[in-house]
A and B are shown apart, each in its own frame.
Chain A
Amino acid sequence: MNALLEMRSITKEFPGVKALDSVNLAVKQGEIHALVGENGAGKSTLMKVLSGVYAAGSYEGEIHYDGALAEFSGISDSEARGIIIIHQELALVPLLSIAENLFLGNEHAVGGIVDWRETNRRTEELLRKVGLSEPPSALVDALGVGKQQLVEIAKALSKEVRLLILDEPTAALSESDSQALLDLMLELKEQGVTQIIISHKLNEVRRVADTVTVIRDGTSVSIMEAEKGEITEDRIVRDMVGRDMADRYPGRARRAGETLMEVKGWNVWHPQHSERQMINDVNLAVRAGEVVGIAGLMGAGRTELAMSIFGQSYGRNISGSVEMKGTPVDVSSVSKAIKAGLAYVTEDRKSLGLVLDETIQRNITLANLPEVSRNMVLNEARETQVAEDYRSALNIRTPSVFQKVMNLSGGNQQKVVLSKWLFAQPEVLILDEPTRGIDVGAKFEIYGIINDLSAQGKGVVMISSEMPELLGMCDRIYVMNEGSFVGELSAEDASQERIMSLIVTE
């Protein structure tokens, strides 16, 4: 097989940083090529060079595509040659239909008037290809994230795609949706579509990739081929972080003390559709020093449960009781929940966890401003001290705590959110997908922080879609499905198979 794409010693510099340093990437015709590396390693920059976001001339090196030197001056240029990127943040218009989205900017029209019959016929054809049975007129808004991802792929197919690039396609998908997407990728490969997948999920990479290129600190460090049996998770991880990581989950002495928080008979209804019950009679307990996991598929109601407990931030007609150390507490507003000793670290740090335009310091103190003030007047010296303390304790990598949070990488942003909640001095922390979208190294650090919390006798509730993470970190795992707890497993009894079987047999 000959190469469809060859990027030769690509170097891209920004003022003060060398984002890419002579990176090589060779993608063979008809293969699935995985590009892996930590956040900030340069994967996205490389793809921006490829797609022409950084126009030819703004980087060094050569791109050979389809046997000829390619110099793209913009996205439309590369798209015309069949290179299409599907970004992590989906670029669909939620309140338009599937058909309208598929042909947005590429409408079937005669003299500016849209031919709806042809549009709908083509849409149905494309939807069939990606395995969707929705009508072309369905609004994108009404589809789940998994199906929206498929619509994006259908959109790519409508443009005669030759090289399809998927940036973290399964990051927001549930287990079953992810599987479906990976199957589709394999099917497209059969049809001759060459694909590049960027992913943090190594089991997925192992499943679909023919070749893996690992990028670290702006350089390509290794290439592995499936045919030669070179692709193993351990090898990938080692090349990604540049060192052996014998244990992906740091160990911790397991000892559970008194019961810290107990939620009893918790029921929650949907905020808009009041007849829909979202959480059904959930009982949950966390003890001091314990890390309790909540496993479940996307949409099982885990985030809804957490947010409804944390100051009724989700849902209506909430019933049930919350006890802290045996005494019932009022958690009807966020400030009351904080006062009762609760903290909730959201799964969506950018839109729910941080004020991106503010400094690290101001984000860290936000949930506990009275602690850094007297008579409601802020003591900025003390505030800076607090921020500096957390910066060194949690190893937030930044030149200064006066840096705006939006300039930080995902892992460091997550550490800022964690700092904010640690500073609120909670007894129990609910961590919702605490390692989503952050790289292997930062994940390891977050696990270490969780272990420290447990050692200090705090209770931790950990919601995660990555089952290995739950199995590696938790003392006990609740399994949730369709708004109810369907099982509870101790660390010793738990395995991916047992969790899945609890979900599917229900």
Chain B
Amino acid sequence: MELAEGTAGAPKKLGIKEYLVRHMREYGLLFALIAIMAFFQIVTNGTLLKPVNVTNLLLQNSYIIIMALGMLIVIVSGNIDLSVGSVMGFVGALAAVMIVEWELSTGVTMVTCLVAGGLIGAAQGYWIAYWKIPSFIVTLAGMLVFRGLSLWLLEGQSLGPFPREFQMISNGFVPDIFPSWLSSGLAGLLDAKRVNVLSLSTGLVAAGLITWMGMKSRAQNRAYGMEVEPSAFFYARIGITSLALIFIFYKLSTFRGLPNVLLTMGVLTLIYAFFTERTVTGRRIYALGGNEKAAKLSGIKTERLTFLAFANMGVLAAAAGMVFAARLNSATPKAGFALELDVIAAVFIGGASMSGGVGKIVGAVVGAFLMGVLNNGMSILGIGIDYQQVIKGLVLLAAVIFDVYNKSKQA
């Protein structure tokens, strides 16, 4: 009996070097992020990882990460969306007009904006999915149209400020639910001014969850004879990730606690990672991007999936638009300008393939953070916007060259 099971799935033993070469991409990205963070931490004399800056870093990149989730799906399905920056700006403008000029409530505005974003995405997706018009062209048109419409909505002016309720989307923090004696006790223990216990415990729980899930899937993979990460690597990776999480949440806890946006971002990332990796629909999107004709002949409704990918992108762009407007506390006609490029770059740096079918949510999020740390670090150093653009461009190119080089070496 045992013998039979053993033959069905004898785990493959791989040398550490062989494993590293094969999974160069995933580790490369993680190493790059750590290396860049360490670099800026040193050259900024520790400013990068100050609690206030960590909080800022997360807030600054939140809307890019939110859109990168949708963009990953669009790119995996074999398409591209160039309109997200404009759509984001347009929805921000719409929110401002609804709240400031029409004096509607925050709740009504938020729901209406999300629906509007979904409709915009659906409208573009309709032409792409059912009329087979290349997504590059449809969304290029969308980019111009919605840039123009936000100018028109705002009549070329900035519009604000927003009521406190709406600002909370971006600038709010989740209130600490733990008693204050615990907080002050911990603060004394950790030699900090204050400690937000909710934030710290969220970090601990997240680290615990990641470790537990990693162990579980490792055990499962082993049982089914899948390739298993060498244990040294596994523990190092889990250890570093957990420590980094606890560290970041600790930094947050000594500032103002858990930002609302971080919570939104975290929950969305989990949902989308689960959706793309574990659900039938997610799997079908990968097949659609990998070979549309084969997917179609396997009974997959490829048009509908493409349509939904764009509708979903629209909703996320709307969410990002509100986060952005709330953070600036006003809607401006320039909001979201050229932001689609940052979002797309994040997804490609995260390992997605231009031809579709390849890419991961976690990769896109790490890619976005990598760009974010670069932006933030260079700004702290006072490097001019001119050099910043050049460096970001080169990083994108390097990431993709690295991908292509890796692939050719494996083949």
Interface residues of A in 229-265 (CB under 8 A from B): none
Q: What A residues does B287 contact at CB under 8 A? A: 355, 358, 362, 366
Given contacts A355-B295, A376-B279, contact A369 B226 (CB under 8 A): no
Q: What A residues does B23 contact at CB under 8 A? A: none
CA distance A335 to B304 in the complex (A): 13
Given contacts A388-B8, A402-B226, contact A358 B357 (CB under 8 A): yes
Which of A168-176, A345-353, A486-494 forms contacts with chain B? A345-353
CA distance A92 to B5 in the complex (A): 51
B130 CB, nearest partner CB in chain A, Å: 14
Interface residues of B in 197-245 (CB under 8 A from A): 220, 223-227
A42 close to chain B: CB less than 8 A: no
Q: What A residues does B301 contact at CB under 8 A? A: 333, 335
Q: Are A334 and B294 in contact (CB under 8 A)?
A: no
Q: What B residues does A346 contact at CB under 8 A? A: 297
B353 CB, nearest partner CB in chain A, Å: 8
Q: Are B283 and A420 in contact (CB under 8 A)?
A: no
Interface membership of chain B positions 298-335, coded 1 if the CB is closer than 8 angstroms to chain A and 0 otherwise: 11110000000000000000000000000000000000
Q: Are B299 and A377 in contact (CB under 8 A)?
A: no
Q: Are A378 and B298 in contact (CB under 8 A)?
A: no
Interface membership of chain A positions 363-376, coded 1 if the CB is closer than 8 angstroms to chain B and 0 otherwise: 00011011001001
CA distance A373 to B284 in the complex (A): 13
B296 close to chain A: CB less than 8 A: yes
Q: Which one of B227, B279, B295 contacts A366 once the chains associate, using CB atoms below 8 Å?
A: B295
Q: Are A358 and B286 in contact (CB under 8 A)?
A: yes
Given contacts A352-B297, A388-B8, contact A377 B278 (CB under 8 A): yes
Q: What B residues does A384 contact at CB under 8 A? A: 9, 224-226
A266 close to chain B: CB less than 8 A: no
Q: Which one of A313, A338, A373, A399 contacts B280 once the chains associate, using CB atoms below 8 Å?
A: A373
Q: Which one of B224, B226, B279, B296 contacts A313 once the chains associate, using CB atoms below 8 Å?
A: B296
Given contacts A355-B295, A388-B8, A400-B12, contact A378 B290 (CB under 8 A): no
User: What number of A residues sit within 8 Å (CB to CB) of B?
Assistant: 37
Interface residues of B in 268-284 (CB under 8 A from A): 278-281, 283-284
Interface residues of A in 328-364 (CB under 8 A from B): 333-335, 337-338, 344, 346, 351-358, 362
A63 CB, nearest partner CB in chain B, Å: 26
A311 close to chain B: CB less than 8 A: yes
Of the listed residues A310, A344, A380, the one surrounded by the most CB atoms of chain B closer than 10 A to its CB is: A380
A504 close to chain B: CB less than 8 A: no
Given contacts A358-B357, A366-B287, A400-B225, contact A377 B295 (CB under 8 A): no
Cβ-closest chain B residue relative to A346: B297
B131 CB, nearest partner CB in chain A, Å: 16
Q: Are B291 and A420 in contact (CB under 8 A)?
A: no
B382 CB, nearest partner CB in chain A, Å: 44
B13 close to chain A: CB less than 8 A: no
Q: Are B294 and A354 in contact (CB under 8 A)?
A: yes
A381 close to chain B: CB less than 8 A: yes
Q: Are B299 and A311 in contact (CB under 8 A)?
A: yes
Q: Are A352 and B294 in contact (CB under 8 A)?
A: yes
Given contacts A366-B287, A369-B284, A377-B278, contact A353 B299 (CB under 8 A): no
Cβ-closest chain A residue relative to B284: A369
Q: Which one of B12, B226, B279, B294 contacts A351 once the chains associate, using CB atoms below 8 Å?
A: B294
User: What number of B residues sit within 8 Å (CB to CB) of A?
Assistant: 30
Q: Are A377 and B290 in contact (CB under 8 A)?
A: no
CA distance A310 to B291 in the complex (A): 18
Q: Are B278 and A367 in contact (CB under 8 A)?
A: no
Q: Are A369 and B283 in contact (CB under 8 A)?
A: yes
Q: Are B297 and A420 in contact (CB under 8 A)?
A: no
Interface residues of A in 411-453 (CB under 8 A from B): 420, 424
CA distance A380 to B220 in the complex (A): 9
B395 close to chain A: CB less than 8 A: no
Q: What B residues does A338 contact at CB under 8 A? A: 299
B354 CB, nearest partner CB in chain A, Å: 13
CA distance A346 to B296 in the complex (A): 12
B164 close to chain A: CB less than 8 A: no
Interface residues of B in 1-42 (CB under 8 A from A): 8-9, 12
Q: What B residues does A377 contact at CB under 8 A? A: 278-280
Q: Which one of A353, A369, A378 contacts B297 once the chains associate, using CB atoms below 8 Å?
A: A353
Q: Are A381 and B220 in contact (CB under 8 A)?
A: yes
Q: Are B291 and A356 in contact (CB under 8 A)?
A: yes
Q: What B residues does A352 contact at CB under 8 A? A: 293-294, 297
CA distance A388 to B357 in the complex (A): 24
Cβ-closest chain A residue relative to B224: A384
Q: Which one of A366, A376, A380 contacts B298 once the chains associate, using CB atoms below 8 Å?
A: A366
Q: What A residues does B12 contact at CB under 8 A? A: 399-400
Q: Are A334 and B297 in contact (CB under 8 A)?
A: yes
B287 CB, nearest partner CB in chain A, Å: 5
Q: Are A351 and B280 in contact (CB under 8 A)?
A: no
A330 CB, nearest partner CB in chain B, Å: 14
Cβ-closest chain B residue relative to A355: B290
B358 close to chain A: CB less than 8 A: yes
CA distance A370 to B220 in the complex (A): 21
CA distance A402 to B298 in the complex (A): 20
A481 CB, nearest partner CB in chain B, Å: 26
A347 CB, nearest partner CB in chain B, Å: 12
Interface residues of A in 302-346 (CB under 8 A from B): 310-311, 313, 333-335, 337-338, 344, 346
Q: Kindly list 4 other residue pairs between chains A and B, CB separation below 8 angstroms, not including A335-B299, A352-B294, A356-B291.
A: A337-B299, A366-B298, A370-B280, A384-B9
Binding site for B on A (CB under 8 A): 310-311, 313, 333-335, 337-338, 344, 346, 351-358, 362, 366-367, 369-370, 373, 376-378, 380-381, 384-385, 388, 399-400, 402, 420, 424
The 3 closest A-B pairs by CB, nearest first: A355-B290, A335-B299, A367-B298
List, sorted by A's number, 27 A–B pairs whose CB atoms are closer than 8 Å: A310-B297, A313-B296, A335-B301, A337-B299, A338-B299, A344-B297, A351-B293, A353-B297, A354-B291, A355-B294, A355-B295, A356-B291, A358-B286, A362-B286, A366-B300, A367-B298, A370-B280, A376-B281, A377-B278, A378-B278, A378-B280, A380-B224, A384-B9, A384-B226, A399-B12, A402-B226, A420-B298
Binding site for A on B (CB under 8 A): 8-9, 12, 220, 223-227, 278-281, 283-284, 286-287, 290-291, 293-301, 357-358
